[in-house]
Amino acid sequence: MQALYTCFNVIMLVGIEILCWLWPNLASPTLAFGVRIPPTRLGEPVIAQLRRRYRVALLLAGLIELLALLLVARLLPLEWQLWLMPLVVIAAVVIAGCLYALMHRTLRRVKEREGWYSGLRQAIAVEVGLPERQARPSPVWLGLDLLLLGLLWGLTVVRYPALPERIPLHFGPNGQVDRWGGKEELLLFSLFALVINVLLLGLALTLPVRSRRLDPADPEQARLDRQRQQQALRNLLAAVLGAVNLSFFLILLLLTQVIPPTAFGIVFVGVLLLPLAILGLMIFYLAQARPAHTYVVRTSYVERDDDRYWKAGIFYVNRDDPALFVERRMGVGWTVNMGQPLGVGLVIGLLLAVVAILLVLLLLGQH
């Protein structure tokens, strides 16, 4: 089981590196490293140079992080591995974010020094009226999500009466049972799965369009790109929920003793492979959401240069914008306006929730 835990962290690390490697190509061509680029400057050599520099640095950092994981697995006891390996994976995310921010700052300085927006007419274009086509998640993913949720609850209801009052609820890294509890906790587990499904399915079906801005240089292509982006994001949410439901179902098979505790390793390997599936789904749908064509100047206007509101190309801070949520510059979806007090409160609340969850997991691990 120690080897499986190491494999899990290696898979997570490699997945993060692959996603970060592809990330610059998943963004709009007019948003290189979060820097707004007019269509007339998309062929600048510095953009390609920074992409190469980013990927070389990312590759070197990834090799060092992988070496650190292997050294931790080889030299340190299991108690240390349980904490240090996730920290290495988290460090990979932080380092990739720092590299992205560095490329953003460099490109922005070049853009400002050479006056890429000099003499261009800047404007904001907004789509009015109702969308021509309302995006919906794929019926295949919706059907799979509901089927797995139904199987999960059906298994809970059928197996519950036959189970003893006390059942194994947690397994240690060595595959041995390290926590027992009442079988009523299975109901809480299934209820938690139901809540996750309601949240993600609700979001996939009713995903709000917080902004309907278009690129004024080529508004028609921007409108088509927006429709594809909305469809891809809804499909991604439904697909990730399918992977999550499958992991819940595999775990429940073990907890309800359909699969004996001695087969814990098989279930663990199955759950271990799901992050790879989620990574593949993310890359596939983010690639679908990417604009299919490079924008050309079909009008006398270009998108407004609003880099000053985007810190490191990631965080949006604009006190004059009343919107609480705005479209991301990286990938698809929305981010919080940190210039609004409520936006700051949401971010702080989310961080506190993450800290609280980690503390609960720590206390559970001690007991």
Give residue-wise pLDDT tens across range 28-70: 778 889 899 888 888 899 999 999 999 999 999 999 999 998 8
Number of domains into which the chain is organized: 3
Shared domain for 299 and 213, answered yes or no, is yes
Res. 126: pLDDT tops 90? no
Asked if residue 236 and residue 342 are part of one domain, the reply reads no
Residues 178 and 246 in one domain: yes
Residues 135 and 194 grouped into a single domain: yes
CA atoms within 13 A on the CB side of 280: 7
Angstrom distance (rounded) from CA 122 to CA 216: 8
Q: Are residues 228 and 351 in the same domain?
A: no
- Per-residue tokens: 228: 């594809």
Claim to verify: residue 252 and residue 331 sit in the same structural domain: no
Q: Are 112 and 226 part of one and the same domain?
A: no
Whole-structure pTM value:
0.73
Domain boundary among 88, 120, 152: 120
273 with 294, same domain: the answer is: yes
Which residue type does 80 have?
Answer: W
Residues 191 and 311 in one domain: no
Give yes or no: residues 159 and 235 share one domain.
yes
Phi and psi torsions of 269, nearest 5°? -65, -40
Among 120, 149, 177, the domain-final residue is 120
238 & 178 share domain:
yes
pLDDT 10s digits, 262-286: 665 666 666 667 777 777 787 788 7
| 354: containing domain | 306-367
Strand partners, 334: 327
Q: Which backbone phi and psi does 116 adopt, to 5 degrees?
A: -65, -25
Most confident of 131-140, 148-157, 196-205: 148-157
- Percent of the chain exceeding pLDDT 90 equals 14
Q: Same domain for 83 and 177?
A: no
- Looking at 105, 120, 135, the residue that finishes a domain is 120
